[in-house]
Amino acid sequence: MSNFLLLALIVSPLVISFAFVVALILVIDELSNTRAAKRDEPRGRQACSVCGAHSWLYVEPREG
């Protein structure tokens, strides 16, 4: 039982730290997307047809 408690005390902070880093990366990514959207150049979010991942690509402005 004490081995399990020791393992939990070691793994818990690692999991929490990992989750915090992932959340921080997502927040920074969202802030950079917001700044990119405020610039004058037109940008659009387009999904990959294979995996569904989104990436920011330059999109030609439509006329009219």
Region 6-10: mean pLDDT is 86
Question: Exposure pattern of 1-37 as b/e (b: 16+ CB <10 Å)?
Answer: eeeeeeeeeeeeeeeeeeeeeeeeeeeeeeeeeeeee
Region 17-26: mean pLDDT is 93
**Domains in the chain: boundaries:** 2-58
- R_g over Cα of the chain: 20
Region 4-10: mean pLDDT is 86
pLDDT of residue 32: 78
In the chain, pLDDT over 90 holds for what percent of residues?
Answer: 17
Region 24-48: mean pLDDT is 69
